Structure 1
Amino acid sequence: MSGIHKAVLAGVAMTALAGLSPAGAETLNALFMAQAAYSDADVKAMTAAFEKENPGVTVNAEFVPYEALYDKIVASKAAGGAGYDVVLYDVIWPAAFAQNGVLLDVTDRLKDLDRSKVFDGAWATVNYDGKTYGMPWILDTKYLFYNTEILQKAGIAEPPKTWDELAKDAKIIKDKGLVQYPIVWSWSQAEAVICDYVTLTAAYGGTFFDGDKPAFDKGGSLDAVTYMADSLKNGLSNPNSKEYLEEDVRKVFSAGDAAFALNWTYMYAKANDPAESKVVGKVGVVPAPGVEGKSKASGVNGSMALGITAGSSKPDLAWKYIAYLTSKPVQDQYAKLSLPIWKASYTDPAVTKGQEALVKAADVSIGLMTPRPTVASYQELSTILQAQIQNALAGKASPADALAEAAKQAARIR
């Protein structure tokens, strides 16, 4: 029996779909993200295998940038049966999607699954108000990547464990002239900057709300943005970080032009790919740092899930496709760009071989992933924070003033 056939059986059994016979001459429309995590090629290969196991079924897979994903999903609801059947969605959207009837509640479809086999951080992606709106698929957080050769030349024996150590190490590297800007980040005015901001806020022990009142302008949140702004002011961080997304960060690091970078899982494989990188074999990875006396490490929940749209006319077939893609055998087969949601995968040599350092970091980071604010108005809240953090990074306002304005605006939409 082939590994792919086993994957189908595992996915079907997992979701109590054993009684569903293969559909004939049916088409599913699915929406995916064209960046980070699984590559387009990986998703197409998974889909082709699913179609082969289900004769007569065709899956039209569309790939869009992350920044277009939310609007595409919302527009699909308005399109009804003419929209998507399966959509990839972010951990920050279940509240809004549940309240607006965008996704189907699939709680009953998962009644036979032992949820303890999947990491808690993954379930946070699909759960809202006691119901489940999909199946976790991409389990991700941000890691600190470092260039081992640059650290060695700088006389730095081990990667930083705290954010203060990172700044000190970056200054050593800069002073020795090894790279002009030792750290690179994805701080474009987009969701990317929020992910780095949340990582740092978690490290500093910050909170986003005090009850219902926004608390962006105090404590760990203010410490986080102050650190970000200072790293630019001190010339430790690449100034282009203010315009960069994750792929820009990957390219700068892979070109050997940065000693440190904060990025998602997928960068480990990409930065070690000779076709795409000049730093192959020089890529170190550890959990994002902590803050002495407050945290040992830090992380943001960047997980994503697959759900069925409320307008789908083929929910059973859509779920069969989701069950296949999220099954352990399939995830294990494609674990180089996105680590599986299944706990058992992390002791499987087929998954860990060649990426032992990444798996070791994940063993720490996955357990402390911090969620972004879980509110139905998240999109509006994120937009406010993006703009005000950008003001602080650009020097248009102090971190305190920028975050005070963010808190003031956020209070109006709560």
Structure 2
Amino acid sequence: MKNKKARFIAVFLIIAALALSACSSGSSDSKSDDKTIKVWTMSPALKDFAKKYTKESGVKVEVQSIPWDSAHDKLLTAVASGKGPDVLQIGNTWVSEFAEAGTFLDLSKYIDDYDNLNPDNFYDSAIETTKYDGKTIGIPWYVDTRALFYRTDILADVGYPKGPETWDDMIDASKKLAARGKDQYAIDLPATDPQFPFMLAWEFGWNYDIDKGVDNFKEQSFKDAIALHHLFYKEGYSQTGKGKEFFQSFSDGSKPMFISGPWDIKTINDRAPEIKGKWDVRLMPKQENNKSMMGGAHLAVFHNSKKVDQALDFINWMADPETQVDWYKTNSELPANKKAWDDPVLADDPKISTFGEQLESTQALPLIPEYERMGQDLIDTLEQINRGGVDIDSALKDYQSKEEKVLKD
């Protein structure tokens, strides 16, 4: 954590030396008037979408779209220079890192002034990811989670027409599916998603306690989740290695299940129309619970914006249930405002409404700056176990040693 702060300070000093005036100019161009705000986003569709707000309010929204792969560095530079937008999008796994660096205006004292910013409007686990060190750093914009996609026809053949409800059901169904013959598997597990193993651990009753540090990874419930993950590769229920693209193996039935987010509803409809009516989405299988991850993004105000009122009015508009439904229609990103889910476009779509139900059983990822590093290290550890043949106990011991160093840094 000290190293992270040092990195931010170093970048700040370099940029300050090159452009001292940038540090005092604030986030908005001093020549712009109160009728213009600047927004940074990783969602290109917002540029045209925000014109609706301009039409309603008279405030022009200058939207700059930033690719996800360069957004982290651009935000880092903005923090160091003190020159950023009025409103910025922040992925919820980046909250702790940038909050620690002082990126965001604390919105706590403003929330009561805007009807749509009330925390009760949003999913609890989404609100959890807007809090850091007693401050509110943003407002949920859109959310996502993970659920189980499955072939109804093929799962019916092995006794699970509505999909496996528990992980015991999943193991039983997987055994039967893998027994169909060569190159036949049960499920395409998300092998490169660092959030998935944490989800499994939550379902075994595990929780990350910040005060415990690396000792969290010594708990039996965490080991049980890793053992379950390994079981699917050890028994041949999941393919070791990449194999076919997931939509191809889902279409031909060689991998009749996979775990993913709501965007893949459209992918399957577009790329595998031949299986229309032969697949569905259901809640995550249950162990002690069936918790999935709470993903998504927030809208925040840059810490030195000179247009706080205008920025908050825009965020309030974006958080309105009608706007949230309109944004879903535009960009297929799920509403964070729970009232939006009453709209027929969501409520009457059984696959999308399943994701709405799963959002009620979600958990926030650990709000620590080291999270993404921990997740990637865990993926590497699972690779050693599942493909490298390393013993689970040995691999986890090495993982714990590695994360102890990460936390000390």
1:78-113 deviation per Cα after TM superposition (whole angstroms, max 9, x unaligned): 2432x4443322323323222210222122221234
RMSD: 3.1
**Alignment length (residue pairs):** 369
1:50 to 48, 53, 59: 53
Question: 1:327: how far off?
Answer: 1.9
Give 2:185's aligned residue.
181
1:318 maps onto 2:311 in alignment: yes
Question: 1:146: how far off?
Answer: 0.9
Question: 1:406: how far off?
Answer: 1.9
Amino acid at match of 1:386: I
Question: 1:131: how far off?
Answer: 1.5
- Per the normalisation by structure 2, the TM-score is 0.79
**Aligned to 2:363, what secondary structure does the other structure show?**
coil
**Aligned to 1:164, what secondary structure does the other structure show?**
helix
Question: 1:288: how far off?
Answer: 0.9
Bigger Cα displacement from structure 2, 127-136 vs 255-264? 255-264
Give 1:382's aligned residue.
375
CA distance in 1, matches of 2:393, 2:312: 47
1:356 maps onto 2:363 in alignment: no
1:214-258 deviation per Cα after TM superposition (whole angstroms, max 9, x unaligned): 2214312112222222212222113345x99xxx65675467653
CA distance in 2, matches of 1:234, 1:389: 15
Structure 1: segments with no counterpart, 5+ residues:
1-21, 34-39
1:136-172 deviation per Cα after TM superposition (whole angstroms, max 9, x unaligned): 0122221111122322344533310112321321232
After superposition, where does 1:187-198 map in structure 2 within 5 Å?
A: 187-188=191-192, 192=193, 194-198=194-198
| Fraction of identical pairs, as percent | 22
2:82 to 77, 80, 83: 80
Q: 1:211 to 1:360 in 2, by over 3 A?
A: same
Give 1:167's aligned residue.
171
**Aligned to 2:165, what secondary structure does the other structure show?**
coil
1:280 maps onto 2:303 in alignment: no
After superposition, where does 1:55-70 map in structure 2 within 5 Å?
A: 57-65=60-68, 68-70=70-72
Q: 1:398 to 1:321 in 2, by over 3 A?
A: farther
Give 1:407's aligned residue.
400
Q: 1:277 to 1:399 in 2, by over 3 A?
A: farther
Give 1:202's aligned residue.
202
- Per the normalisation by structure 1, the TM-score is 0.78
1:314-353 deviation per Cα after TM superposition (whole angstroms, max 9, x unaligned): 4444333333322210112243633322222333323312
- Residues 39 and 64 in structure 2, CA contact (< 8 A), matched pair in contact too: yes
Give 2:220's aligned residue.
219
1:44-90 deviation per Cα after TM superposition (whole angstroms, max 9, x unaligned): 4423423444557243331424x554344323322432x44433223
CA distance in 2, matches of 1:390, 1:106: 41
After superposition, where does 1:5-24 map in structure 2 within 5 Å?
A: 23-24=34-35
Question: 1:260: how far off?
Answer: 0.9
CA distance in 2, matches of 1:275, 1:68: 29
Question: 1:261: how far off?
Answer: 1.0
CA distance in 2, matches of 1:60, 1:148: 43
CA distance in 1, matches of 2:166, 2:336: 27
1:290-336 deviation per Cα after TM superposition (whole angstroms, max 9, x unaligned): 12xx23x2212223212123354544443333333222101122436
Amino acid at match of 2:38: L
**Aligned to 1:108, what secondary structure does the other structure show?**
coil
Give 2:104's aligned residue.
103
**Which entry has the higher C-alpha Rg, 1 or 2?**
2
- Residues 186 and 249 in structure 1, CA contact (< 8 A), matched pair in contact too: no
CA distance in 2, matches of 1:125, 1:382: 17
Question: 1:275: how far off?
Answer: 5.8
Bigger Cα displacement from structure 2, 124-133 vs 321-330? 321-330
1:344 maps onto 2:354 in alignment: no
Question: 1:132: how far off?
Answer: 0.7
CA distance in 1, matches of 2:386, 2:264: 25
Amino acid at match of 1:230: L
Structure 2: segments with no counterpart, 5+ residues:
1-32
Q: 1:308 to 1:393 in 2, by over 3 A?
A: farther
